[in-house]
Amino acid sequence: MAKFKKSMLKWLIPAVVLVLLGGAAAVWFYFPQWIPFLKKDKPAVAKKAEGEPDRIFTVTRSDMSIGIMLKGSVNAKKKYKLALEAPFGTKLVRVVDENAKVKKGDIVAEFETSDLLTKIDDLKLNIDKLRKDLELVQEERAVLVSTNAADLRTARDNMTEAQEAYSRYYRLEGPKDRDTKDLAVSDAELALEEAEDALQVAVETHNSTVYASEDEEQKAKDDIAKLEQKRDSAKTKLNSANLDRKLFKRYTYPNKINELRNKLAQAKLSYEKIKVSTQSWLQQKDNRIRSYEINIRNNERQLKLHQSWLPMMTLIAPTDGIITYGDPDRVWGNPEVKVGMDGRRRQVIITIPDMSQMIVDVSLPEQYRSKIALGNKAIITPDSIREIKLTGEVSKIAILPNNLIAWDRESPKVYRTVVEFRESHPRIVSGMSVQVEVVTKVLKNVLSIPVEAVFEEGGELFVYRKTLGTPEKAPVKIGESGDNSVQILEGLEEGDEIYLYRPFAPAENKS
């Protein structure tokens, strides 16, 4: 048992020593203020990272620009937007990669053309068929013209014959027949008168004559009887001639005139019918010809139009540049550009900005609108390349404001503003985010320092001035200030060097 206790003591003592040493080290590291000789009254100088240079600013007298700091995006003043201009449904079959560099004349995208070529072939076949049909109808029209001429000539001849027959009977044959009838009546009247006179003479002679014999008397009586028969025959002929003339005047002549007049009217009507029908048939043929000609012209126009779409199926770079998918000026609605996408007319799928002329698009907050005017100078600093500072000028400010978020009417109002570069730089590209300081006022020959060099404690402003020993606080009085710099009225002299950060670590709270 004593041996066991001796062994335990042998291991326990070193363990206790180690625990005490570890506790002391912890107190040294985490709570140095508990150890009196570690406490110090002066602040510790902040240590900078190894290899990091001091950010020191030398105070100089120069012109100080006061302005408003805005955010903007570099954009090309001129952008070549490429889209499918043909109103023909198709698909994208080839497109160059985004951000690829292209030369003027390079093919940057191609659309499917098989359906368009098929449509062109169909139009060509349809035009050939329409032309053959047109030739056939034109031949039919030529035959119809000839047939119509023959029909019209026959109808015109029949009308002429009817007109001549009517005129001939009305002027010649009718009056001649009437005169013949009148002459027949006159002849019959004269024959009757002669027969009656002859009979009267014979009767008077018979009555006044004494015949020597019965035979002579009987002969005279027989002559009287013959003359009576002749008189009766003359009366019959006269009655017949009167009746014939009456029938001619009442029936034969009017009926003949009406018949000839009707034939003439029928011939005229037939001529007019044939004339109208031939014109109608000819008009029908002309309409068919005109319809074929219109269809041919329409198909030729469609063929020419579809053929003009073929070059549109290939998008060619109009200038040297870098490919950007979609339309950068559209806030939303840009397509996902990829092979197989549907081609929609005038939907921009590729934009090539002209890097030789760049501008900055800025959304000017409504509260700054009264402070900025056209022609104000601007200093443009890219977010990604802070060492580059370029000059520019406000060239355009929208007349009316828009909501910063188009679909949110409660979002802040901004004015679309354009700042043009006065100088170029090869590292400035479209789409780059920049800081734009619009210069609204310039103070001539003043002392100015960066804003980040000024600190405030207890309502007093001061800077950390570099000295041979420990950096010292230097109270300052400021004048006008901008977003980047502040005018110094008192507290610094030209040539002083100041820190752009706090060179001392924050003071510790005393217990």
450's CB contacts (< 8 A; 6+ apart) are 57, 484, 485, 486, 500
Give yes or no: residues 352 and 263 share one domain: no
Burial of 181 (0-12, 13-18, 19+ CB in 10 A): buried
Domain range for 244? 116-309
341's CB contacts (< 8 A; 6+ apart) are 91, 92, 335, 349
| CB-based contact 96:323 (threshold 8 Å) | yes
Alpha helices, DSSP H only, in 169-208?
A: 174-208
Q: How many CB atoms lie within 10 A of CB 433?
A: 12
Give yes or no: residues 250 and 364 share one domain: no
Q: Is residue 167, in this structure, part of any structural domain at all?
A: yes
Give me the DSSP letters along 371-414: G--TT-EEEEEESS-TT--EEEEEEEE-SS-EESSTT-TTSPEE
Q: Is residue 248, in this structure, part of any structural domain at all?
A: yes
- Separation between Cα atoms, residue 352 and residue 325, nearest integer Å: 9
Geometric angle at alpha carbon 236, from 231 and 241, rounded to 5°: 120
Give yes or no: residues 13 and 104 share one domain: no
Give yes or no: residues 292 and 355 share one domain: no
Give yes or no: residues 161 and 106 share one domain: no
Structure confidence at residue 455 (pLDDT): 94
What is the average per-residue pLDDT within 401-417? 88
- Separation between Cα atoms, residue 277 and residue 271, nearest integer Å: 10
The model's pLDDT over 293-351, given as tens digits with 9 standing for 90+, comes to 999 999 999 999 999 999 999 999 998 888 989 888 776 778 889 999 998 899 999 99
Tell me how many domains the chain contains.
Answer: 3
pTM of the model as a whole = 0.55
Give yes or no: residues 341 and 214 share one domain: no
Give yes or no: residues 159 and 34 share one domain: no
Give yes or no: residues 225 and 339 share one domain: no
The model's pLDDT over 433-491, given as tens digits with 9 standing for 90+, comes to 999 989 888 889 999 999 999 999 888 999 999 988 889 999 999 998 877 789 999 99
Q: Is 299 left (phi over 0), alpha (psi -120 to 50) or beta?
A: alpha
The CATH number of the domain holding residue 100 is 2.40.30.170
Give yes or no: residues 269 and 411 share one domain: no
For residues 423 and 31, the model is more confident at 423
Give yes or no: residues 346 and 291 share one domain: no
Q: Is residue 510, in this structure, part of any structural domain at all?
A: no
387's CB contacts (< 8 A; 6+ apart) are none
98's CB contacts (< 8 A; 6+ apart) are 323, 324, 325, 337
Q: What are phi and psi of 360, to 5 degrees?
A: -120, 125
- Separation between Cα atoms, residue 420 and residue 418, nearest integer Å: 6
Q: What are phi and psi of 454, to 5 degrees?
A: -100, 130
Give yes or no: residues 165 and 296 share one domain: yes
The model's pLDDT over 142-194, given as tens digits with 9 standing for 90+, comes to 999 999 899 999 999 999 999 999 999 889 988 998 899 899 999 999 998 99
- What is the separation of C-alpha 240 from the centre of its chain, rounded to a whole number of angstroms? 98
Q: Is residue 53, in this structure, part of any structural domain at all?
A: no
The CATH number of the domain holding residue 295 is 1.10.287
pLDDT value at 106 more than 90: yes
Give yes or no: residues 157 and 276 share one domain: yes
- Separation between Cα atoms, residue 394 and residue 419, nearest integer Å: 4
Which of 380, 412, 443 delimits the end of a domain?
Answer: 443
